[in-house]
Amino acid sequence: MRRGIPLAITFLIGLFMLVDFFVPHYRVSDLAGEMKQWGTIVIAASILLGVGNLIRVHFHKIRRRRDGWQYSITTLLIMAVMFAFGGPWGTIQEGSAFNWMFLNMQVPLQSTMFSLLAFFIASAAYRAFRLRSAESGLLLTAAIIVMLGRVPLGQLLTRALPEQATLPWLTETIMAYPNMAAFRGILMGAALGVMAMGLRVILGIERSYLGGEK
Amino acid sequence: MTLFWTTIGAILTLSIYSFLYKDNPFYKFAEHLVVGVSAGYYLVIYYWNYIDPNVVTPVFLLRVGADRIPLLGMDWWMALIPGILGLLLYMRFFPKVAWVGRWPLGIYVGGYAGLGLSPIMQARVITQLGANALPLAGVEDPFAAMTNLVLGISIFAVMTYLFVAKRSMGAGNKLVRAGVIVLAAVIGYVGYLALSLLSNAGVVSLTNILLVVGLLGTLSYFFFSMKHKGLLGGLARVGIVFLMVGFGASFGYTVMSRISLLIGRVGFLLHDWLHLID
């Protein structure tokens, strides 16, 4: 029962979504639309569950005085402040304290965190772009063209050349054609993989999402 | 007051960058601050954007303009179902009934699996194929169409020959292989420029052929049911060329996006905080 019911639910819902695709009746599509809405709400609930789990982990860390517990106080405190500013009144409104916190704390802090990756990605680029083989030569050439073509320097370096020899034009061409062709292939391969996995899930062959316990 | 908050922002920015030296208490403080702010933000956003309008308001309250009247909405029982499903997820905090939390997962996974069959086939395979198989330009003029086709095929033949048929050429010598790449790229590019001088329709035709060849090559590379020999092997090699260009371009694009974020933060420190640059 513990595994049978969720497997049956998965089968029925999966089958219904398939039926919705092939049966264009308004009652079927209305119910399918409602179910899609349920999925969105379950996702939202799972995000809140994740936040709840984060609170639990940090709370335990503080209670047991584990290594670095003082930082957990920071996390819980700022989370409480953020919730206090936004929780009772709702989403972003111009001039609200929640909006101020979002614009002056979350956005700059996250962008600084991501910009930190610039240093690590530079070291990764050094390893990836080394000219070890013919293929890595292509990788290097395409990356250099795209990197230069995206900045004013690239435009400056090739401004005397005809348009079709400028770095911005080459960048656009690479992104629009060889890059597009390759990523379409990957996208289609991934879509076929998703379909195979979907079939396995609906038929109950794939059960890893149920977890390890009985 | 602005200077105070800017200074706080600058100190936090420098605290994060201090990680470049080594992990330290300043970085840890800023890191935990980011986690806390983000968690609080998403808590509020997901509640007000999804839970409140779809569950709480229809079940308990009815919005009339800016006011909220305590009244059951019309389809309140329909809204109650996802609310209960959402609550069931929290059963994992109670080990004895944790298994009930699989029910909403079943709905979510089953729904996504069902959507992953036919609609994804249509959206990500058939539509993409249609977008990729574009007509050759200049078909209304037979001479132009023939010229475009011959030129396009010639350029591809030369490039494929250099990349595929002569794979063993200079296999042991990196310089020779790099030279082959440069030569192929130059031939391809010169051919492309020559074509663009002849007609714009030729360029369109060539790029459209390029899309088809690239897609076929990439799919062949990921086709593992047969050994990559003969025609399939050749196509797979062409696929590697396109994949490498694609990965290089994407990686270069990612590097530049990170660098632009870094420039933004350095600009904040030097302009907004220290006023050293205009």
More confident residue, B116 or B7: B7
Q: Which helix (H) or strand (E) holds A54?
A: helix A26-63
Cβ-Cβ contacts under 8 Å, B207 against chain A: 173, 176-177
Condensed to tens digits (0 to 9), the pLDDT of residues B44-103 reads 999 888 888 888 877 776 555 555 555 555 566 777 888 899 999 888 888 888 889 889
Evaluate if residue A17 carries a pLDDT over 70. Answer: yes
pLDDT at A186: 92
pLDDT of residue A164: 76
Question: What is residue B17's predicted lDDT score, i.e. its pLDDT?
Answer: 94
CA angle A153, B275, A110 (to 5 degrees): 70
CB atoms within 10 A of CB B31: 19
Cβ <8 Å between A191 and B17: no
The per-residue pLDDT for B99 is: 87
The residue of B259, B266, B269, B271 whose CB has the most chain A CBs within 10 angstroms, and thus the best one to mutate to test that interface, is B259
Per-residue pLDDT of A64-119, as tens digits, reads 999 999 999 999 999 999 999 887 776 667 778 888 888 888 889 999 999 998 88
Q: Quote the pLDDT of residue A38.
A: 86
Q: Do A109 and B30 touch (CB under 8 A)?
A: yes
Q: What is the pLDDT of residue A100?
A: 86
**pLDDT for residue B171:** 52
Contacts of B119 in chain A (CB under 8 A): 21
B134-166 pLDDT, tens per residue? Answer: 776 655 666 655 665 666 666 666 666 555 555
Instruction: Check pLDDT > 70 for residue B124.
Output: yes
Reported as a single tens digit per residue, the pLDDT across A18-56 is 898 888 888 888 888 888 888 888 899 999 999 999 999
More confident residue, B65 or B212: B212
Q: Please, is B17 exposed, middle or buried when counting C-beta atoms within 10 Å of its C-beta (0-12, 13-18, 19+)? A: buried
Domain spans of chain A? Answer: 1-88
pLDDT at B199 over 70: no
E-state strands within B26-141: 62-64, 67-69
Over residues B223-240, mean pLDDT: 85
Tens digit of pLDDT for each residue in A146-178?
A: 999 988 898 899 888 888 788 998 899 899 888
pLDDT at B42 over 70: yes
Chain B residues touching residue A186 (CB < 8 angstroms): 218, 222, 243, 246
pLDDT band at B116 (very low <50, low <70, confident <90, very high): confident
CB contact under 8 A, B219 and A188: yes
Q: Whose CA is closest to A82, among A36, A113, A125, A51?
A: A51
pLDDT tier, B193 (very low <50, low <70, confident <90, very high otherwise): low
**B40 contacts A117? CB cut-off 8 A:** no
* Residue B140 C-alpha, separation from nearest chain A C-alpha, in angstroms: 24
pLDDT band, very low/low/confident/very high, at B177 (cuts 50, 70, 90): low
In whole angstroms, what is the distance from residue B264 CA to residue B259 CA?
9
Complex ipTM > 0.90: no
8 Å CB contact between B165 and B234: yes
User: Cβ–Cβ of B114/A16 closer than 8 Å?
Assistant: yes
Closest chain B C-alpha to A115 CA, distance in angstroms: 5
Mutate to test the interface with B, among A13, A70, A85 (most CBs of B within 10 A): A13
Indicate yes or no: CB of A101 within 8 angstroms of CB of B37.
Answer: yes
Estimate the crossing angle of helix B174-198 against helix B142-160, to 10 degrees. 170
